[in-house]
Amino acid sequence: MGHGYERTAALLVKDALELTMVRWIWFLTGCGGVLTPETEVAADEPANPPPYTTNGEPGPEFQDVYGERVTLTGRYLVEQGAGDFRAPQVATLQADDGRTFITSYSADPKYYPLVDLKVVVTGRPYEPSMMKRSMYGHHFEIESMGLAAGETPHPTDKPYRPPVFRSIESGWNGQWIYLLGNWDGKEYRSNGEAVGFVSPTSLAGVASGEVTLLVHIPDVGAKEPPRVDAVCPGLDVKCGIK
């Protein structure tokens, strides 16, 4: 039994010495991949060009491709859903010429009064860089947007299709939003954080689980906190306005 172990050890040493000799021969003959002045990669033939140019500006592979500035007429739409980093609320422009453009991945408060209405938009169509995370489709950078002639704006004294969020967003002054969170019978939490203005008494009798709140955001300078106007179980995009 002992002689077997000795033979195995001797063979391992022999193999190691042979492998070392092969590596030295590979190195000494220049086949080991060591760069010499003759084998260096030419400067004008980079295998993987850097993502940024020498002046620090993003390289072409990171740049969006823009078209000419145009003015379009169409309908401005915002998806309903829990808008956060996991589920963006895509805003689109359905142009009268049949094209659909993605204008943003989250609802812009200043354009919310125009949702579902006919609008006139000025801006530039563009194709996002393939190096950026984006949805497939044509994109449009809005420079200005307003109601089209003959359109009636939404009333300001009651909610209209509020967008859904998991946190109170800034900029929604004087408007309504849906807040989506979880109620455990003692505390209402949204996006992992307790929502201070939601009192347990306002959710008395509501079953534990996901709950949608219709919340009115006060105007700028108002002293009162956001107000809960309706409570609905689950994700309900018609909560309080059915």
Beta bridge partners of 228: 215
Residues 227 and 178 in one domain: yes
Domain end among 147, 180, 211: 147
What pLDDT does residue 129 have? 62
| DSSP reduced 3-state for 114 | helix
Residues 101 and 175 in one domain: no
What pLDDT does residue 62 have? 62
Mean pLDDT of the chain: 75
User: Domain range holding 104?
Assistant: 64-147
| 39 confidence band (pLDDT: 50, 70, 90) | very low
- Report whether pLDDT(17) > 50: no
What pLDDT does residue 166 have? 83
| pTM of the predicted model as reported, rounded to 2 decimal places | 0.60
What pLDDT does residue 87 have? 59
Residues 172 and 134 in one domain: no
In a domain, 129, yes or no: yes
Residues 175 and 218 in one domain: yes
Spatial distance between the Cα atoms of 55 and 43, rounded to a whole number of angstroms: 17
- Report whether pLDDT(135) > 90: no
Evaluated on CA atoms 199, 203, 209, 215, the torsion sign reads: negative
Domain end among 147, 182, 208: 147
In a domain, 7, yes or no: no
- Give the C-alpha distances (Å, rounded to integers) separating 55 from 59, 65, 74, 87, 169: 10, 20, 41, 36, 37
- Amino acid at the residue 63: Q
| 147 confidence band (pLDDT: 50, 70, 90) | very high
CATH number at residue 100: 2.40.50.140
In a domain, 55, yes or no: no
In a domain, 157, yes or no: no
Beta bridge partners of 65: 127
In a domain, 11, yes or no: no
What pLDDT does residue 70 have? 94
Domain end among 147, 179, 204: 147
- Report whether pLDDT(66) > 60: yes
Spatial distance between the Cα atoms of 122 and 239, rounded to a whole number of angstroms: 34
Q: What percent of the chain clears pLDDT 70, i.e. is strictly above it?
A: 66
**Number of independent structural domains in the chain:** 2
Range with lowest mean pLDDT among 69-83, 104-118, 130-144, 158-172: 130-144
Average pLDDT over residues 120-132: 80
Beta strands 176-183 and 209-216: pairing type?
A: antiparallel
In a domain, 82, yes or no: yes
